Amino acid sequence: MFIRLLAAILALSGCAISQEKADAIIKNSVEAIKRDWEAAPDYNCFERDRDSKGSKTYEDLMIQGSPYQRLVAVNGKPLTSSQADEEKRKQEEAIAQRKNESPQQRSQRITKYQKDQERNHAMMAEMMKAFIFNVVGETRIDGHPVYILKARPRAGYRPPNMETQALTGMEGKLWIEKTSFQWVRVETEVIHPVSIEGFLAQVEPGTRFELENAPVAPGVWLPSHFSMRSRAKVLFLIPRHGEEDDTYFNCHKATSPLRPD
């Protein structure tokens, strides 16, 4: 009996230490992600989006304070000369339009982009509140030593808005680089149905998200792959399924990023 009791105490102690270590790792990783988001506007990347109909590849450019996508390939094939000329014309038109905006128009456009970024920050903060994290192992990914963390729903968590309601039904796994605390890989999955208030919708098990990040410069990591498989019911009866698969590559610092004047 004493041996069993001692083993139980040691196990509980180990869980507490694991959770305390995990909380410190997550806190450091959130700071690293914030630095990446702040650096991201100075980088241009290529993005390939796949769906059931095929793929489209874009060059993602920051122009005058918000992103712009220029189509460069369809289904892995470069555009024809006439198509490329048309995309070049659209880009030049967008640059001219943004340079000639009124202060109010520019403010509205940039504010919309910044709100999207702020929404990402808010979601990150809510994840800290919505999950309990534990260190469950260590390994290496692409030569990087990483911690492996498990995230499970925190009992009693109350989501503050519609966007965070799905967190109550999710669990996840994170691979975090041991020295930089960058998120190398994240996997999350809905484990039980979650009703989304205001939309008469329900997110179903089978909904899954995966994110991979990679270094693009010293101290800067950006997304390299994102995939999503959604399973939901609208009005709790009509199924709505969707899939998304985005790959980011050739990210590089812009030689002359077009920030607002």
Q: List pLDDT tens digits, range 83-100.
A: 999 999 999 999 999 999
Task: Tell which residue, 250, 211, 232, 243, has the closest CA to residue 54.
Answer: 243
* pLDDT attached to residue 15: 43
Q: State the pTM of this model.
A: 0.80
Between 184 and 204, the higher pLDDT residue: 184
Residues 6+ apart with CB under 8 A from 216: 43, 222, 251, 252, 253
* pLDDT attached to residue 9: 31
Q: What span, in angstroms and rounded, lies between the C-alpha atoms of 166 and 235?
A: 16
Q: List pLDDT tens digits, range 190-204.
A: 877 766 655 556 677
Give the residue numbers spanning the domain of 202: 2-253
Task: Tell which residue, 31, 36, 34, 25, has the closest CA to residue 224.
Answer: 36
Q: Determine the average pLDDT of the residues in 216-229.
A: 92
Residue 119 token pair = 């929404």
Q: How confident is the model at residue 234 (pLDDT cuts 50, 70, 90)?
A: low
For residue 61, which phi and psi values (nearest 5 degrees)?
Answer: -125, 140
40 is a domain residue: yes
Residues 6+ apart with CB under 8 A from 61: 44, 67, 68, 69, 70, 91, 254, 258
Q: How confident is the model at residue 169 (pLDDT cuts 50, 70, 90)?
A: confident
67 is a domain residue: yes
Q: Determine the average pLDDT of the residues in 12-40.
A: 78
210 is a domain residue: yes
Q: Determine the average pLDDT of the residues in 226-233.
A: 75
258 is a domain residue: no
259 is a domain residue: no
Helix or strand (DSSP H, E) at 17: helix 2-39
52 is a domain residue: yes
Q: Beta partners for 152? A: 132
Task: Tell which residue, 183, 182, 232, has the closest CA to residue 210.
Answer: 183
Q: List pLDDT tens digits, range 114-162.
A: 887 777 777 777 888 888 999 999 999 999 999 999 999 888 888 887 7
Number of domains in the chain: 1
260 is a domain residue: no
21 is a domain residue: yes
Q: Beta partners for 188? A: 172, 209
Residue 29 token pair = 């990783």
Query: Which one-letter amino acid corresponds to residue 96?
Result: A
